[in-house]
Amino acid sequence: MTATNSPKHLKSKGLKATSRRPALELCSECGLCDTYYIHYVKEACAFLHQQIPELETQTHGRSRDLEQEDDLYFGVHNHMMAARKIEPIPGAQWTGIVSTIAIEMLEQGLVEGVVCVQNSPDDRFQPQPIIARNRAEILAAKVNKPTLSPNLSVLEQVAQSGMKKLLVIGVGCQIQALRAVEKELGIEKLYVLGTPCTDNVSRAGLQKFLDTTSRSPSTVVYYEFMQDFNVHFKHEDGSTELVPFFGLNTKELKDVFAPSCLSCFDYVNSLADLVVGYMGAPFGWQWIVVRNDRGQEMLDLVQGLLETQPVSSQGKRQEAVQQGITAYDKATTLPMWVAKVLGVAIKQIGPKGLEYARFSIDSHFTRNYLYVKRNYPQKLAAHVPAFAKKIVAQYKLPK
């Protein structure tokens, strides 16, 4: 490459770990600013320039149809389903569909490397992004690191490696920045496998959450906010601890989530080709959203390893969401026995399947809308996408 046709970003330099990022306290540590792609940060950062509809069109050929309820909530998609591995991967977050797709893509030669995140050797919750090049490295990245993770920090290594076919696994804010710089990466075929994501925390915030909520914070191996309205903590000895959502210490936990995540409206990872989560599926199953043909190509690789069923929807969410807005705003913490009774009742009669996913999206979008309105009023109009404004407008919000 001659000096005259060098991309402009090669003249930039990533920031040191200790330097403040351009998005300041809203930075979700996606990793872009650790690389020379910081050159594009003003356009690419999810917190400096919200451009989900434009990037949806770039990626899927159209942006979501706000008049169509499934599109409004779950983004552009060809179809959705519930699935689980017939033989789950032990120690995966759910049944390991994400890791399995990544392994198949690598072993069948669709990609040369997989951007994913392992943990540091001395701390199971400290993220360590890598470019995995074999099955063992992908498997070592299984299970959520429930902390902000600089997945894009390895993008410079991708460029240096000369790879032309790449799979990136990541959450919404990472994928928005990735899509914004996609054309500069020198990749001929980029596949993006996303997970939904909400309520993420810094490593210090995670410690506070564990200390406040679990009976044994130091033995927690993983946790998930599940569709049965409980937080499930899995401990080293294999035991599971359930804490009802309604019993969480809201007062203590209000400031535990990262400011980026309290300002985030890309819960469903709108810009991935394929999304694998759980919240639109029955309890114990994973929820798959195929956004485009590339996503279908990825899913096809593992169809024979999955049990599947159509998505379904049951119950009504709106009243529970409206009550939750007020309770959260007043930082109400219920006595544990009341929380348990309420949890059991809501599990019986509450929203299920896609209606549970809508419950969770409504609850998070209303909370986050209020957070941005109160803390960054000057950002509200441009930062909140039109789909989120429409969802929030269904509810009565406190001042």
Nearest to 266 by CA among 52, 97, 83: 52
Q: Shortest Cβ contact with ligand FAD: which residue?
A: 277
- Least gap, CB of 2 to ligand FAD (angstroms): 37
Angle at the Cα of 315 (from 312 to 316), degrees rounded to 5? 125
* Contact flag: residue 166 with ligand SF4 (CB under 6 A): no
Which amino acid type is present at position 285? W
* Contact flag: residue 21 with ligand SF4 (CB under 6 A): yes
Q: Tell me how many residues contact ligand SF4 (CB under 6 A).
A: 25
Please say whether the beta carbons of 55 and 176 come within 8 A.
yes
Please say whether the beta carbons of 45 and 22 come within 8 A.
yes
Among 27, 185, 197, 248, binds ligand FAD (CB under 6 A): 197
Q: Which span (115-123, 167-175, 314-322, 338-346) binds ligand SF4, by CB under 6 A?
A: 167-175
Residue 355 vs residues 23, 252, 253: alpha-carbon distances, Å: 34, 29, 26
Q: In terms of CB distance, is 182 or 266 closer to ligand SF4? A: 266
- Tokens found for residue 379: 């950002």
3-class secondary structure, 395? coil
- Within 10 angstroms of residue 79's Cβ, the number of other Cβ atoms is 14
d(CA 103, CA 39): 32
Query: CA 112, 115, 121, 124 torsion: positive or negative?
Result: negative
Among 63, 198, 202, 286, binds ligand SF4 (CB under 6 A): 198
Q: Which span (115-123, 157-165, 197-205, 346-354) binds ligand SF4, by CB under 6 A?
A: 197-205
Residue 22 makes CB contacts below 8 A (sequence gap 6+) with 33, 38, 41, 42, 45, 48
Pick what 30 binds: ligand SF4, ligand FAD, none; C-beta below 5 to 8 Å, kind-dependent: ligand SF4
Give the x/- contact pattern for ligand SF4 in 84-123, rule: CB under 6 A.
----------------------------------------
Q: In terms of CB distance, is 226 or 341 closer to ligand FAD? A: 226
d(CA 196, CA 265): 11
- Tokens found for residue 196: 């939904």
CA torsion angle 265 268 274 279 (round to 10): 170
* Contact flag: residue 278 with ligand FAD (CB under 6 A): yes
Among 81, 197, 276, 298, binds ligand SF4 (CB under 6 A): 197
Please say whether the beta carbons of 287 and 279 come within 8 A.
yes
Residue 380, H or E segment: helix 380-383
Q: Which span (142-150, 179-187, 210-218, 296-304) binds ligand FAD, by CB under 6 A?
A: 142-150
* Contact flag: residue 173 with ligand SF4 (CB under 6 A): yes
d(CA 276, CA 193): 8
- Least gap, CB of 360 to ligand SF4 (angstroms): 12
Pick what 144 binds: ligand SF4, ligand FAD, none; C-beta below 5 to 8 Å, kind-dependent: ligand FAD
Among 26, 38, 92, 262, binds ligand FAD (CB under 6 A): 92
* Contact flag: residue 171 with ligand SF4 (CB under 6 A): yes
Please say whether the beta carbons of 309 and 115 come within 8 A.
no
Give the x/- contact pattern for ligand FAD in 36-75, rule: CB under 6 A.
----------------------------------------
d(CA 55, CA 63): 8
Instruction: Kindly give the pairing relationship between strand 165-170 and strand 189-194.
Output: parallel
Among 148, 163, 276, 392, binds ligand SF4 (CB under 6 A): 148
d(CA 371, CA 377): 9
Q: In terms of CB distance, is 81 or 117 closer to ligand SF4? A: 117
Write out the residues near ligand FAD by the rule CB under 6 A.
Answer: 89, 92-99, 116-117, 127, 141-147, 149, 151, 169-171, 195-198, 200, 224, 276-279, 286-287
Write out the residues near ligand SF4 by the rule CB under 6 A.
Answer: 21-23, 27-30, 32-33, 41, 44-45, 47, 148, 171-173, 177, 197-198, 200, 260-261, 264, 266
